[in-house]
Amino acid sequence: MLGSLNMDLVVRVHALPKPGDTVLGDRLLRVPGGKGANQAAAAARLGAQVRMVGRVGADAFGEDLLSGLAADGVDVSGVTRDNEEPSGAALIVVDASGQNQIAVAPGANGRVGEAEVERLRDGLGPGDIVVLQLEVPLAAVFETAAAARQVGARVMLNAAPSTPLAGGPVPEVDLLVVNEGEAVELAGLPVSGLAAAERAAARIGGWADSVAVTLGAAGAVLWNQGVATRIDPRHVEAVHATAAGDAFVGAVAFGLAAGWSMRRAVEVGVAAGAAAVTRLGAWSSLPRLADLRRLFGIEVPGSA
């Protein structure tokens, strides 16, 4: 896993503020996050062996991020402590329906580069799954994807945020994961919706062996071997949607590393994303196998 580590500062409000508005919320929550860290923790909680590579600042946020990952069983020896930039931080406002607004200060994440790519390359081999996102410099993403494929490792790219790739080249990956809006942006479509997501998946399918488009409460679309398949949603009462996509990515990575089919991995990813929205916070909402069993009756071969 090469990606971002942020401290999430979360406030829950009745309704999201409009431009120029001030709204009152409840107490401020400080929750470890960042797409890279979230996805690493998500995969580890399901039982995957995960090594995290990235950067944090030499500050209290950095300490908390590393200790949080380590507590979930993630190997953090590949995370650099940056003495010049602070740890990344995200300001998150969540309304009563679980929708959110997020502003991110990248901090040390913006300095991820060749040193981190080389650190991830060490020990990487066939059968490994490398998971990437776009909250670190694009050059590091391209270099990591190329290095992984050279040694026979499979590459998952969560193209979030998708703007850095819009209208430009895309790294060669085995699985591209995007949400509905990201799929439409990358495909250059003027509309959204389920049908548009299927068209977008097919259009950007030339960039990857497979494409998974997450649709929130509507499930997902998997484009694989030239065929688009709808993956049914899991219905839950939403509390906080921030980490749903990261829970999905972590679960899919876990499933592929365990040798599951792409469809089975995406089905469990949808369940993991649904489980995540039932709790407040990003990291705290990432499910374990026991949560998937309790909520949906999902049994994972080889799990306790």
Q: Confidence class of residue 171 from pLDDT cuts 50, 70 and 90? A: confident
> Per residue in 174-216, pLDDT tens?
999 998 888 888 877 665 666 766 777 777 766 778 889 998 8
Query: What token pair was written down for 153?
Result: 């490792």
pLDDT: is 186 or 267 the higher one? 267
H/E run at residue 250: helix 244-257
Distance in angstroms (rounded) separating the CA atoms of residues 121 and 78: 11
- Are 219 and 270 within 8 A, CB to CB? yes
Domain boundaries, the chain: 35-87+109-158+234-296
Distance in angstroms (rounded) separating the CA atoms of residues 26 and 12: 6
Whether the pLDDT of residue 57 is over 70: the answer is: yes
- Are 289 and 303 within 8 A, CB to CB? yes
Note the CATH number of domain 35-87+109-158+234-296.
3.40.1190.20
Distance in angstroms (rounded) separating the CA atoms of residues 42 and 32: 12
Strands of the sheet with 29-33, listed across from one edge: 29-33, 6-12, 88-94, 100-105
Query: What token pair was written down for 26?
Result: 């409840």
Query: What token pair was written down for 110?
Result: 């913006």
**pLDDT on residue 192:** 64
Question: Is this structure's pTM higher than 0.85?
Answer: yes
Whether the pLDDT of residue 304 is over 50: the answer is: no
**pLDDT on residue 191:** 59
Whether the pLDDT of residue 280 is over 60: the answer is: yes
Catalytic annotation, residues: 246
